[in-house]
Amino acid sequence: MGVAVTIKDLAAKCGLSVSAISKALNNYPDISEETRAHVRKAAAELGYFPNAQARALKTNRTYNIGVVYEDGNRDGLLHNFFASILDGFKREIETSGFDITFINRNIGRGQLSLLNHCKYRNMDGALIACVDFYNAEVVELSKSDVPCVTIDHLFAAACPCAMSDNRTGMSELIRYVASMGHRRIGFVHGEHTAVTDTRMSSFFETMNALHLPVVPELLLQGVYHSPPSNYTAIKQLMALPEPPTCVLLTDDFAALGALEALSEMGLMPGRDISIAGYDGIMVGQLIRPRLTTYQQDTQRVGCEAARLLVRRIEHPNETLRPPVIVSGRLLAGETVVDRTEKKVLS
Binding residues for a second copy (CB under 8 A): 1-2, 4, 47, 49-54, 56-57, 60, 62-64, 76-78, 80, 83-84, 86-87, 90, 94-95, 97, 99-104, 106-109, 112, 116, 119-122, 144-145, 227, 253, 256-257, 259-260, 263, 282-283, 286-288
Name the binder of 18 from DNA, a second copy, none, CB < 5-8 A by kind.
DNA
Helix, coil or strand: residue 130: coil
Smallest distance from the beta carbon of 75 to a second copy, in angstroms? 9
Name the binder of 80 from a second copy, DNA, none, CB < 5-8 A by kind.
a second copy
22 touches DNA by CB under 7 A: yes
Name the binder of 201 from a second copy, DNA, none, CB < 5-8 A by kind.
none
The partner residues of 293 in beta bridges, in order of sequence, read: 331
Smallest distance from the beta carbon of 161 to a second copy, in angstroms? 21
> With CB under 7 A as the contact rule, which of the stretches 20-28, 138-146, 225-233, 263-271 interacts with DNA?
20-28
Distances (CA, A) of 28 to 1, 6, 24: 32, 19, 6
Residues near 288 by Cβ (< 8 Å), separated by ≥ 6? Answer: 334
Closest to DNA by CB, 35 or 168 = 35
Task: Annotate each residue in 38-57 with x if it binds DNA (CB under 7 A) or - if it does not, as one string.
Answer: ----------xxxx--xx-x
* Strand intervals (E) in the chain: 64-68, 99-103, 106-107, 110-111, 125-128, 148-151, 161-164, 185-189, 219-221, 246-248, 274-276, 293-295, 324-326, 329-331
Closest to DNA by CB, 72 or 316 = 316
Name the binder of 120 from DNA, a second copy, none, CB < 5-8 A by kind.
a second copy
Closest to DNA by CB, 15 or 241 = 15
Torsion of CA 18, 22, 27, 28, to 10 degrees: -60
Smallest distance from the beta carbon of 146 to a second copy, in angstroms? 8
**Amino acid identity at 221:** Q
Q: How far, in Å, CA of 172 to CA of 178, rounded?
A: 10
Name the binder of 30 from a second copy, DNA, none, CB < 5-8 A by kind.
DNA
- Per DSSP, 270 falls in state T
Smallest distance from the beta carbon of 232 to a second copy, in angstroms? 15
Smallest distance from the beta carbon of 18 to a second copy, in angstroms? 16
Q: What are the two backbone dihedrals, phi and then psi, of residue 252, each rounded to the nearest 5 degrees? A: -65, -45
Name the binder of 19 from a second copy, DNA, none, CB < 5-8 A by kind.
DNA
Distances (CA, A) of 196 to 208, 224, 240, 273, 322: 18, 10, 24, 24, 20
Sign of CA dihedral 77, 82, 88, 94: negative
Q: Give the interface with DNA as residue ranges (CB under 7 A).
A: 4, 6-8, 15-20, 22-23, 25-26, 30-33, 35, 48-51, 54-55, 57-59
